[in-house]
Structure 1
């Protein structure tokens, strides 16, 4: 192999390694986000398990050394699960039977 081919092989290897690390980090964030939710609705379960299976399953849109599609699926699942976490937290702030949160200065309901 010539020096140019070695350089190209090393660069390709570094890109593959970087995308693999990115996919693993996103998978960890998706898993942690799922743990923050506690109970997921059906959509949350499908998003979580679908992203995990797609990432691990060897048959993808792109071959597995190219993790860009896996990163996209994990990022979409992370965005969706993050939205569910925000909705879950907002729902817990105002439990049924509680008064509306009030602005401390005016004592009027916050809109």
Structure 2
């Protein structure tokens, strides 16, 4: 098991977001803004679903990595820390999934 964490990825994304390196994909996504970054997140979500329903294990791993990366980019551009998302997940796990979903009042 890898010791690499989403917190590590969040830190790397934040560092690269302000990079002057013209070859930095992360810096280019930040420069293009939330619209383009969100579009990429959506594309990666669709590709992840396709890999999952196709039972493409290798593809699902690869696309999931892309999805997590792009999610952290969108969160970073939006000024949202991974810790805030984890706190929300922790709050939600204090009750059953069906109770939590009912409490949200939508879906």
* Fold conserved between structures, TM > 0.5: no
Higher relative contact order (CA 8 A, sep 6+): 1
Q: What is the TM-score with the length of structure 2 in the denominator?
A: 0.33
Which structure's residues are more often helix, by fraction?
2
Q: What is the TM-score with the length of structure 1 in the denominator?
A: 0.32
Structure of greater Rg: 1
